Amino acid sequence: MTQETLTVLGLETSCDETAAAVVRLSGGRAEVIAERVASQTSDHALYGGVVPEIAARAHVERIDGLIRLVMEEADESWDRLSGVAATAGPGLIGGVMVGLSTAKAIALARGLPLIAVNHLEGHALSPRLAEDIPFPYLLLLVSGGHCQFVFVEGIGRYQRLGSTIDDAAGEAFDKTAKLLGLPGAGGPAVERAAEQGDPKAVDLPRPLLDRPGLDMSFSGLKTAVRRAAEDQPLTDKRRADICASFQTAVADILAARSARAMELVTHMSDNRTFVVAGGVAANKALRTRLEAEARHAGFRFAAPPLKWCTDNAAMIALAGAERLRLGASDPLDTPARARWPLDEASASVAPIYGAGKKGAKA
Ligand code: KG4
Ligand code: ZN
């Protein structure tokens, strides 16, 4: 393991954000030197969801310009970089290929190590961009494509404890926004509307909560939202009430499962830290609710600042730098992957560099 300062360029193109960032890792502390995120929300607005082909083309058009910008802003030269990291999956394959191929071209041209990062590992480590969070910790990863509890033992050591059996929580936010005809990005639109609504107005289910384990389900909630939307005329008041009731139901499900997950990890480690990350972690009502749950369980609570909850390249650069620090890099023929469970991303560094089980530090 090396202790020197590492400066890594990171690229993120797995969904509908094109992003580039330069992150410096020094003595275990991360510093974001420059970052840019170009959202494609308006490119997809007409279609009511992300269109993979449009996303991939938009990544192609924007990625070079973003890289030039962050390199200028960071005042970095190519020969001072330690490596180049890119999301290699999971995600929309066309988009992932754009970012990963760009990173491979830079690595080849500049003689730099390539680090192929699992997007979920980026989210898992994202809270460490802002504060020092020692391993191990319990992570609730809630995004548009994933909803899972993970025991994060160290860099490259991720144990999935439970997950959704159907939709991800972010997907449920997006579908709710679409059903109600709310404009713009789904999650933030529902959150905004919910502020004006009554969370008790609509009776919505909390599926699976009577079952043991940590599995979650959100598809029944989506069906109930559809019924509520068809039940009565969709006035602004009715929309706000459905959003408030929906958001509270999601928070109830995640809070109840988080309480159980915290109870479970007290048997795995003395280190009591509960971290929430991913796009849905940007939801303020949910953060407040989970923070209260953590306090009640005697856990430290952490969540990244909002800009690092949703997709960004700073978290990919950090994951790349952490892997590089541990001596891991990837060959130039590393494939882009549409599917890549987080536990499988462990293999490349786990046997050599994982942290110990109890109370291990970064
Ligand atoms: O992490 P992310 O940017 O992309 C994925 O890896 O999926 O997460 C995007 C998801 C979307 O479903 C979006 O609606 C949701 O995060 N999201 C929110 C909020 N901001 C983004 N959900 C609820 N409240 C928010 N404020
Ligand atoms: Zn994401």
List the structure tokens of 52: 């993979």
pLDDT, position 43: 87
Lowest pLDDT segment from 36-50, 71-85, 104-118:
36-50
CA of 360 to the centre of ligand 1 (A): 31
CA of 314 to the centre of ligand 1 (A): 17
pLDDT, position 343: 84
CB-ligand 1 contact for 99 (6 Å cutoff): no
Q: CA–CA distance from 187 to each of 131, 177, 184, 240, 281 (Å)?
A: 25, 7, 9, 13, 10
Atom of ligand 1 nearest to the CA of 120: 6
pLDDT, position 42: 84
pLDDT, position 263: 97
User: pLDDT, tens digit, for every residue of 135-144?
Assistant: 999 999 999 9
> Who's near 151: CB < 8 A, 6+ residues apart?
136, 138, 139, 158, 159, 161, 265, 268, 269
Atom of ligand 1 nearest to the CA of 284: 26
CB-ligand 1 contact for 173 (6 Å cutoff): yes
pLDDT, position 28: 85
Ligand 1 pocket mutation pick from 287, 310, 315 by most atoms within 8 angstroms of CB: 310
Confidence class of residue 346 from pLDDT cuts 50, 70 and 90? low
User: pLDDT, tens digit, for every residue of 334-343?
Assistant: 999 999 999 8
CB-ligand 1 contact for 118 (6 Å cutoff): no
Atom of ligand 1 nearest to the CA of 14: 6
CA of 1 to the centre of ligand 1 (A): 35
CB-ligand 1 contact for 293 (6 Å cutoff): no
Confidence class of residue 273 from pLDDT cuts 50, 70 and 90? very high
Look at the block and give the residue holding tokens 């191990």: 136
CB-ligand 1 contact for 121 (6 Å cutoff): no
Atom of ligand 1 nearest to the CA of 17: 3
What does the alpha-carbon distance between residue 255 and residue 252 come to, in Å, rounded to a whole number?
Answer: 5
What does the alpha-carbon distance between residue 309 and residue 284 come to, in Å, rounded to a whole number?
Answer: 12
pLDDT, position 304: 98
What is the pTM (predicted TM-score) of this model?
Answer: 0.94
pLDDT at 120 over 60: yes
CA of 183 to the centre of ligand 1 (A): 15
pLDDT at 49 over 80: yes
3-state secondary structure of 270: coil
